[in-house]
Chain A
Amino acid sequence: MTTTTQTAPLVRATGVTKKFGSGDKEMVALSGLNLEVREGEFLSLLGPSGCGKSTALNIMGGLLSATEGSITFGGKTLTEPSRQIGMMFQQAVMFPWRTTLDNVLLPVEIFGESKKKYRAKAEELLSMVGISEFAGSYPWQLSGGMQQRAALCRVLLHDPKLLLLDEPFGALDEFTRETMNQELLRLQAHTKSTAVLVTHNITEAVFMSDRVAVMSARPGRLIGILEIPFDRPRTPDLQTTSDFVALVAEARKMLELQ
């Protein structure tokens, strides 16, 4: 799935450094990150906590500004959040005063577009992830996994070109998490969007991605990029093949050498 190498990258990070605080309290969260995200690929940022992977993601999403360096998105310098970019967070971030459907429709409401126009699409997305019967329910009437399914619908509603996923299923139990990862891959393939996933789980990163960017902590920087050549769609069986295990071992070695 690395056939898009020739086209211009969707996102290009050049020498991105992020410092927090100043003086004695200065902390370098991310140091000199150079990274390209190719159109249509699934890229993971893998590393221990404190390696700046979430910081990098937030800068790509325009939520944080880089102290040094710059980010381009679709060829243009990114300075603020874009409607072409959709973000998912560790928590589902469902507003408890809105029904599931209204939560999914939040983006178009913010954009000032007609909710009516998107209603059918939202319902279709909800049924694709299997929770259409909960459209009228409130988030607190749903399980954690269902809430994240709804959050997935919300991020896909306005067809963003780029999905930025900050450990979106990190708060779920192992079983739900695997199902959700499958779901995510299916929908990403369906919408042909580009995805960047932040994770500290090596197996997950290798299983999900076309490429894995391995990062180290203090200061956060990129160690290297691992190409994952497996075909799609991928099934859980893949994880028991020797090629897969070898790649996981290689990623682990990259992390441990630091």
Chain B
Amino acid sequence: MTRTEQIAQLAIDASPRAKRKKFSPYILTALIAPLILAVWWFVTETRIVPPILLPTPASVVQSFPRVVFADGFGDQIIRTVTEIVGGFALGATIGFLLGMLLSSSSRLRAAYLPALSALEAIPTVILAPIIIAWVGFGMEGKVMQAALACFYAVFITTLSGLGLAEPNAVNLMRSLGASRWQTMAKLRVPTALPVIFGGLQLGATTAIIGAIVSEFIGSVGGLGYLMIRYRGSFDTAAYWVIIFFFLVIGLVTYLLIWYAEKKIVFWRHTAITRPDLEKP
């Protein structure tokens, strides 16, 4: 289960008590937003939290048009999104293909999996200075960083997912004399899809982080570059406007992948059988 699925799981409840609830929990959901705003307003007006860290809600709202209509803002967004999408596509493709390759041979798995699973532990950000030294401040480096950040999640979920087919389903394919490729295409890949989507969801988040960190360290454009500039001029309100955009990028990515999964893996969240249809 990926973290995203886990979060979705939160809304599902095991306790038998829940059915007695009179109010929808989403009423509380709706009340939390103004509460957060009120707390934000309070801690900034009273300067409990210094303005250099968090400006007042009002100043962020006021800064919004200034930031958004500044020259070239659209270009910066496009630049960052391109880096994220490019890195994600690159990393996910490599991860998927490598997962397929290792899944096809227990010998290759035994040879490479120990080294590859060590990759899981490596904080990829430490490679950011090297990548910048190699390719400079351009977009290629950001794409590489994002690809590195998301590769492992897709690789390991693909490898794991391709091994998930039920023994009886594999036996059925074998009893029909299916080729390796037929078993892969008609059984293993579809079975793995839900798990792979978990990896994609995971990888998308890490790809975004990879791109931002790389932009922070050294760049000539992009939202991360803008943030470093605004911070340099102590324009914290403008900085928070861009944080808002990153929140939107994160949410849109999440929703896109969620929607793609819902459409492609349509059989996913369904019960295995319908006992109510059983004939006596």
Contact = CB atoms under 8 A, between A and B. Distances in A.
A176 B274 CA distance: 14
Contact of B278 (A63, A91, A95, A144): A144
Interface residues of B, number: 29
A93 B175 contact: no
Given A93-B169, A95-B190, A146 B277 contact: yes
B117 interface: no
Given A86-B175, A110-B178, A95 B187 contact: yes
Interface in B156-178: 166, 168-169, 171-178
A83 B176 CA distance: 6
A186 B173 CA distance: 26
Contacts of B280: 175
B176 A110 contact: yes
B242 to A, nearest CB: 41
A89 B172 contact: yes
Interface residues of A, number: 37
Given A95-B169, A96-B267, A81 B275 contact: no
Interface in A48-64: 58, 61-63
B272 interface: yes
B182 A110 contact: yes
B191 to A, nearest CB: 8
Interface in B253-280: 265-267, 270-280
B185 to A, nearest CB: 11
Given A95-B190, A143-B278, A144-B278, A81 B166 contact: no
Contacts of B182: 110
A110 B190 contact: no
A63 B174 contact: yes
Contact of B172 (A58, A62, A93, A145): A93
Nearest to A62: B175
Given A91-B166, A175-B280, A97 B190 contact: yes
Contacts of A37: none
Contact of B274 (A95, A107, A110, A141): A141
B278 to A, nearest CB: 4
Interface in A79-110: 80-83, 85-87, 89-91, 93, 95-97, 106-107, 109-110
Most buried by A among B171, B172, B182, B274: B172
A4 B173 CA distance: 32
A60 to B, nearest CB: 11
Contacts of B187: 95
A126 B166 CA distance: 25
Interface in B29-62: none
Contacts of A147: 273
B267 A81 contact: no
Q: Which 4 A-B pairs have the closest CB atoms?
A: A96-B267, A143-B277, A87-B175, A89-B168
Given A143-B277, A176-B279, 9 more contacts: A83-B176, A85-B175, A91-B168, A93-B168, A110-B173, A110-B176, A141-B274, A143-B279, A179-B279
Interface of B: 166, 168-169, 171-178, 182, 186-187, 190, 265-267, 270-280
